Chains A and B, each alone.
Chain A
């Protein structure tokens, strides 16, 4: 865990409401409303996806939703920018391979 509990300027991190999510099927308890990317880093997960052609690992890069390096498949929807998408109770997050796949029958919602 790499959460910053004590901070000289911001003070002690208050007790946060928790939600349950899964990352590649494995359950995790994370802070309600935090960005998916933060929840992953808090659990020492740094690889969010693998590139389409060379299968190279990628993680968070710009943190403001512009570079799209941190995209993952979230609740069956591929290419979700995890640095600007908050976690929700029951969310299923998957490491994305290449461009990802839409969940069967969910295309276009």
Chain B
């Protein structure tokens, strides 16, 4: 039992801030570390309204949720170290960080919550390295945070939620979305987001992919091609679209480096983005005292990331003796009920099944 324990949360996005808030609420000493100069992760570029039920803040824009989380963080006097990069985690939960690119600091944590997020997947085709081929999330950052258009005529590769949401936001920002190209025969995003770009007249090309991007020093055009039932390009179906920007919305990959160096055991679950740190229902990994939350524990959404953050925060604080066992069980179950509600339906069930597999693996290895 240690009532003066320190919880270090790495990553100040929706998962990390939610974890920090839950832990600080019951009196834990919390430090949140983020390498960026501002907290909030990717929330502040989410200018669309969230989906789901009221308790998941449906109907609220991501930016507003970001503001709320930062207000709570400030109210609870949670220490946030910005411009701080985590370079290592030792066996005894000693964290090595570099602050402001010059000051090397070690801090000993009693509990660590990894909420490092994810990076967008790349897709390789001739011309994919040309300036003007960007991640859809990067384009979203440019238009909604920096208020700068990465280009005027955009091709979006991928029709999942990121693809259709960013396409709509590119239209709102004043760009033309020339096409949304989807390799699968079916569209991948929620109907509500897909319908908005449909109504705006953006053409969808299902069973198509990019065969090459054309240009000497920047994107000048993209050639797309139709795919057969075995995902093979059909010769003669090539079509050249004049664009100056190609956005890739082809999924995300968890940022798991810190979990690897901390010695966490991993399991491969492709539906959730790849190799994931194995964790239990308390979000604790196979390394005692190290928790995960958000995209690092499987690619989902900000709403599930916040719930997982709460789980990690509650259970991290409880293991420091700050929450009674009965209360911990009750709070944990409440979050799981909400997570189950989020992980249902056409899109959610697949994620729930995948998460259940990850939890089942935990029972075997621990």
Q: Which residues of A contact B (CB under 8 A)?
A: 2-10, 13, 34-35, 37-38, 41-42, 46-48, 56-67, 69, 83-84, 86, 109
CB contacts (< 8 Å) of B143 on chain A: these are 4
The answer to whether residues A64 and B131 also contact, given A4-B148, A41-B142 and a CB cut-off of 8 A, is no
Contact (Cβ within 8 A) A13 B135 = no
Interface of A is mostly: loop
Contact (Cβ within 8 A) A59 B132 = yes
Contact (Cβ within 8 A) B148 A57 = no
Contact (Cβ within 8 A) B119 A3 = no
Instruction: Give A69 to B102 CA distance when docked, in angstroms.
Output: 23
Instruction: Give A109 to B139 CA distance when docked, in angstroms.
Output: 34
Contact (Cβ within 8 A) B129 A38 = no
Given contacts A59-B134, A63-B134, 17 further A-B pairs with CB under 8 A are: A3-B148, A4-B147, A4-B173, A6-B174, A7-B172, A10-B147, A46-B131, A58-B131, A60-B138, A62-B119, A62-B135, A64-B119, A64-B138, A64-B141, A65-B36, A67-B119, A83-B141
CB contacts (< 8 Å) of B146 on chain A: these are 34-35, 37-38, 41-42
B: number of interface residues (CB 8 Å): 36
> Would you mind naming 6 contact pairs between A and B with Cβ atoms under 8 Å apart?
A41-B146, A41-B149, A60-B150, A62-B138, A66-B119, A84-B35
B138, B144, B149: the one within 8 Å of A83 (CB): B138
**Residue in chain B with minimal CB distance to A84:** B36
CB contacts (< 8 Å) of B35 on chain A: these are 65, 84
Contact (Cβ within 8 A) B119 A47 = no
Interface of B is mostly: loop
Q: What is the 8 Å Cβ interface bit string for chain B, positions 122-142, against chain A (1 contact, 0 not)?
A: 000000011111110111011
B47, B148, B218: the one within 8 Å of A2 (CB): B148
CB contacts (< 8 Å) of A83 on chain B: these are 138, 141
Contact (Cβ within 8 A) B148 A61 = no
CB contacts (< 8 Å) of A69 on chain B: these are 129
* Residue with the greatest number of chain B CB neighbours at <10 A, chosen from A6, A34, A41, A58: A41
Instruction: Give A42 to B133 CA distance when docked, in angstroms.
Output: 17
B37 at the interface (CB under 8 A from A): yes
B237 at the interface (CB under 8 A from A): no
**Residue in chain B with minimal CB distance to A65:** B35
Contact (Cβ within 8 A) A66 B149 = no
CB contacts (< 8 Å) of A38 on chain B: these are 142, 146, 148
Whole-angstrom distance between the Cβ of A86 and the nearest chain B Cβ: 7
* Residue with the greatest number of chain B CB neighbours at <10 A, chosen from A7, A9, A62, A64: A64
Q: Which residues of B contact A (CB under 8 A)?
A: 35-37, 42, 47, 61, 102, 119-120, 129-135, 137-139, 141-144, 146-152, 172-174, 217-218, 255
Whole-angstrom distance between the Cβ of B59 and the nearest chain A Cβ: 14
Contact (Cβ within 8 A) B147 A13 = yes
CB contacts (< 8 Å) of B172 on chain A: these are 7-9
CB contacts (< 8 Å) of A6 on chain B: these are 174
The answer to whether residues A64 and B173 also contact, given A4-B149, A57-B130 and a CB cut-off of 8 A, is no
CB contacts (< 8 Å) of A58 on chain B: these are 129, 131
Instruction: Give A33 to B35 CA distance when docked, in angstroms.
Output: 16
Whole-angstrom distance between the Cβ of B232 and the nearest chain A Cβ: 28
Contact (Cβ within 8 A) A63 B131 = no
CB contacts (< 8 Å) of B42 on chain A: these are 64
CB contacts (< 8 Å) of B152 on chain A: these are 2
* Residue with the greatest number of chain B CB neighbours at <10 A, chosen from A5, A42, A61, A65: A61
Contact (Cβ within 8 A) B218 A47 = yes
B61, B138, B151, B218: the one within 8 Å of A57 (CB): B218
Instruction: Give A65 to B144 CA distance when docked, in angstroms.
Output: 17
The 4 closest A-B pairs by CB, nearest first: A63-B138, A59-B131, A38-B146, A46-B131
**Residue in chain B with minimal CB distance to A50:** B217
